[in-house]
Structure 1
Amino acid sequence: MNTLMPTSPRPTRTTTAGPVTRLLRWLGLLGALAITAWILVTYPGLPETIPTHFDITGTADAWGSKTSILVLGGVMMLLSAGLALLSTKPRAFNYPLVVTEHNAQAIYREGERMMVWLLLSMQLIYVSLVRSVLLAGDGGVLLILGMAAMLGSVVVGIVRLVRAGR
């Protein structure tokens, strides 16, 4: 028998997100909307062929139709909305520890926080990709910051989850 899988439903969530977590979630969603709006405003003036991939130095090394940036915007909006929605359902997450009546609320709170920080770090990655396309490869630093923030969100989130589970 797998001792990590609960044999009965997890405890119900009785707490709500704190004001900072709610604010950060909304900022993540508004950031995604703002970046997508930037795409839509600049789209008519884009050339028919735009850079779609960059090498490690930030030089474009693949090109495609300008509609590819609309695909990027659509995918990132779906991911952002999905992650924001998912962050409100921490009871459904797959945790690396056993959730009990004693630790459930603390674990749910930390799981939600981790997802909200992932949402925010994803916006850094999104803006870096859009900057690279629209401003000719000017998004490298933001991409590195976004990836570091995403990794940090996961590492710090897991540490906090484990501590909450004690």
Structure 2
Amino acid sequence: MVGIMSTILSKAQRPARTYATGPITRGLRWLSVLASLGTSAWILVRYPSLPDTVATHFAAGGQADDWGPRWSVLVLGAIMLLLSLLLAAMSTRPRGFNYPAEVTEDNAQAIYREGERMLVWTLLGMQPIYLGIAWATLETGGAPLLAVGLVGLIGATIVGIARTVRAAR
């Protein structure tokens, strides 16, 4: 418990955020939220015409290999929309992130900026995954979008951590 309290206190003692988010980061955040809302809307529009049983899992080649009830598509949509909205909201509060370096008065703004960017790019990488899963479930295909999203998530993580470590220097 003592360790948890000291972590919370150290984050509370960090310098306040003073930088302004850049227009590209803001635009990508909004684009991602709109993409998530659009995919969710597509699921809701298509839901009444879905069969009682839909594909819920796919093999590496993209063929359905498990099936479930139609309402499972709504669960997918709710989870992905909630994750997207939470990531978008969290990305605006970089002071509370866990960083791979010590946050000081001198490096705080640079580290916060890179932490915000990493979360926004992670959010952006989630959108092709969400669309790909919805596409595979509602139509056929979607595997290329999943691959693009996974590459985007891995890239956002690697580049984001490297840029955060560099900003700490």
The TM-score with structure 2 as length reference comes to 0.93
Q: Who is 1:153 aligned against?
A: 156
- The one-letter code of the counterpart of 1:88 is T
Q: Does 1:131 align with 2:135?
A: yes
Q: CA deviation at 1:16?
A: 1.9
Does the residue aligned with 2:125 lie in a helix, a strand or coil? helix
Aligned to 1:90: 94
Cα deviation, residue 7, structure 1: 8.6
Structure 1 vs Structure 2 CA RMSD: 1.3
Give me the identity figure in percent. 54
SS for the counterpart of 2:83 is helix
* Alpha-carbon distance in 2 for matches of 1:120, 1:8: 28
Rounded Cα–Cα distance in structure 2 between residues aligned with 1:30 and 1:162: 31
| Aligned amino acid, residue 130 of structure 2 | Y
Match of 1:66 in 2: 70
Q: Are 2:85 and 1:81 equivalent residues in the alignment?
A: yes
8 Å CA contact 2:115, 2:160 repeated in 1: yes
Q: Equivalences for 1:44-59 in 2 at 5 Å?
A: 44-59=48-63
C-alpha contact 2:129 2:145 (8 A) present in aligned 1: yes
What TM-score comes out, normalization by structure 1 length? 0.94
Q: Structure 2 counterpart of 1:157, which letter?
A: G
Q: Flag the 1:61–1:25 CA change in 2: closer, same or farther, 3 A.
A: same
Per the TM alignment, residue 135 of structure 1 is displaced from its structure 2 partner at its CA by 1.2
Gap regions ≥5 residues in structure 2: none
Q: Are 1:103 and 2:111 an aligned pair?
A: no
* Secondary structure class of the residue paired with 2:74: helix
Cα deviation code 1:66-114 (max 9, x no counterpart): 1000000000110000000000000000001000000000000000000
Shift, 1:29, TM fit: 0.2
Mapped to 2, the partners of 1:54 and 1:86 lie a distance apart of 31
Residue correspondences, number: 162
Partner SS state of residue 55, structure 2: strand
| Alpha-carbon separation, structure 1, partners of 2:120 and 2:12 | 27
